[in-house]
Amino acid sequence: MSDFPWLLAMIAVPAVGAAGVAALPKGRDGTAKQAALGVSLVVLLLAVLATVAFDTGGERFQLTTSVPWIPDFGVDFALGVDGIALVMLLLIGVLVPVVVLASWRDEPTGQRSMKAYFAWLLLLESFMVGVFAATDVFLFYVFFEAMLVPMYFLIGSFGGPRRQYAAVKFFLYSLVGGLVMLAAVIGLYVVSANELGEGTFAFDALRGIEIDPGVQKLLFLGFFVAFAIKAPLVPFHTWLPDSGAEAPIGGAVLLVGVLDKVGTFGFLRYCLPLFPDASRDLAPYVLVLAVAGVLYAALLAMGQSDMKRLVSYTSIAHFGFIALGIFAFTTEATTGAVLYMVNHGIATGLLFLVVGMLIARGGSRQIGDYGGVARQAPLLAGVFLVAGLASLALPGTNSFVSEFLVLIGSFPTRPVFTVLATVGIVLAALYVLLVYQRTMHGPPRGVLLETPAETPAPAPGGGGGATAATATLDAPAAAPARLRVADLSPRELAVAAPMVALIIALGVYPQPLIELVEPAVAATMSDVGADPAGVEPEAPGGGTD
């Protein structure tokens, strides 16, 4: 079973599916939706089967596939996963079908058809799998850059009113980071040629070479800038609030749920193992950015009036926690950071989906346009509450275990940073509970809307285009100022139910994920020279940082 090319299949299936959906005749949007859902479910099945085939007590990288690609430059199409990459593939497998189902009744914004929307989603899924499965640094870079294209078109063609500005900003920020990383990739190849006699991009070969500390720092910074922009860490974060707010709801879920994790995954996969001395030396500066992001983004989230921007700022704060766990250099904290990457994708993904459902009903992203929704839509309010509580890491939800491991693991080595980051937990409770209280409780607000048999899902722009909900916003002034909200439809329940189940299941019993990631985390800590018992890693001179 382990001999089957699971990873290659997970890349090829959605890529072929995207081509098939794009080739459908005009007007076959219904077929495109069915095909996209079927393909995404196949990828989920492949991810589950790959997990079954993965041996937690076996080699670090498993399910490997490698064929020569550009042999003159030592580039192979090499794939393989450790436990960290595998849980990210599972996250992709779960989120994409949910996004497809959530977008089932969307109407396109602009001139593009829904088959183009689903084709871009499937192509994005293929590239996301590739970036986590690549074990060749050059191949990783190719997938890293390729992801920009489908997301650019998802935002620019199907996003909100300022979609073009947001798409260009997203693309330029990511492209600049990618170009900086390309310079570091080339530098790494030159170093490998000097040390090994032949240049290579193979991760295992690069991990074992000795690099001058000064050169290490330069190469580390080249990779770090790209990953810090992608994550994003403060002050590289300014593209995310715009992109998250203007992206279609499905695109926003994948943007904050998966794409941004490529940055924190890059820290773990490349920065720490390939540049251990530089990672130790520069860790205090990274931690300053991480904690600043936790506090700064939380404060900005509290002041937002746009629900989608608020959720985007909460993600920036969460990425600060993840970076804290990674650069604390303990097994507990890093395990918590990896779990946080998965659990944040589930919790914040559900939060974005619920926000999209609410926007579809009210035709507005503004928090002040809602109130008293829980009286008319108790199921919608209940799912909103579960997503919010998971986002603030309430015990019993999936995010709690992640946050707890990060804090107890980072305190022995980084007590000051840990205490400061803990303040972010209090702020998270404030911004989550305040937005829930303002929208779900209090006096009803908004314009009079008819309640259809099944309320349409948000337009891909999450309020950027005209929908059945927004068509009545120009009602006569005499209409009573009261918002009538339909509760969750059967389709929307099918979207929310698996996400809620995962939040509760992983909150009660996270052990399966922990068992998957712990061996890879231990190997990464060994690469960077960290003591898993919680003692700071040795500095190059034998002392401590």
Q: What pLDDT was estimated at residue 531?
A: 58
The DSSP H or E segment spanning 69 is strand 62-70
Cβ pair 311, 244 in contact under 8 A: yes
Residue at token pair 């120009």: 474
Q: What pLDDT was estimated at residue 34?
A: 93
Distance (Å, rounded) from C-alpha 236 to C-alpha 228? 7
Predicted confidence (pLDDT) per residue in 514-534, tens digit: 999 999 999 999 998 875 554
Distance (Å, rounded) from C-alpha 227 to C-alpha 267? 7
| Averages of pLDDT over each 10 residues, the chain, 545 residues | 86 97 87 94 97 93 93 92 96 96 64 83 97 96 95 92 94 94 95 90 90 94 96 92 93 94 95 94 95 93 92 93 95 95 95 93 89 91 95 92 94 94 88 91 60 42 39 35 76 94 96 94 89 49 40
The DSSP H or E segment spanning 76 is strand 75-81
Cβ pair 335, 517 in contact under 8 A: yes
Predicted confidence (pLDDT) per residue in 343-364, tens digit: 999 999 999 999 999 998 888 8
Q: What pLDDT was estimated at residue 30?
A: 85
Alpha-carbon dihedral angle through residues 335, 340, 346, 352, given to the nearest 10 degrees = -170
Distances (CA, A) of 341 to 89, 91, 196, 281, 403: 12, 9, 35, 25, 11
Q: What pLDDT was estimated at residue 477?
A: 36
Encoded tokens for 459: 């337009």
Domain boundaries, the chain: 6-528
Distance (Å, rounded) from C-alpha 490 to C-alpha 321? 36
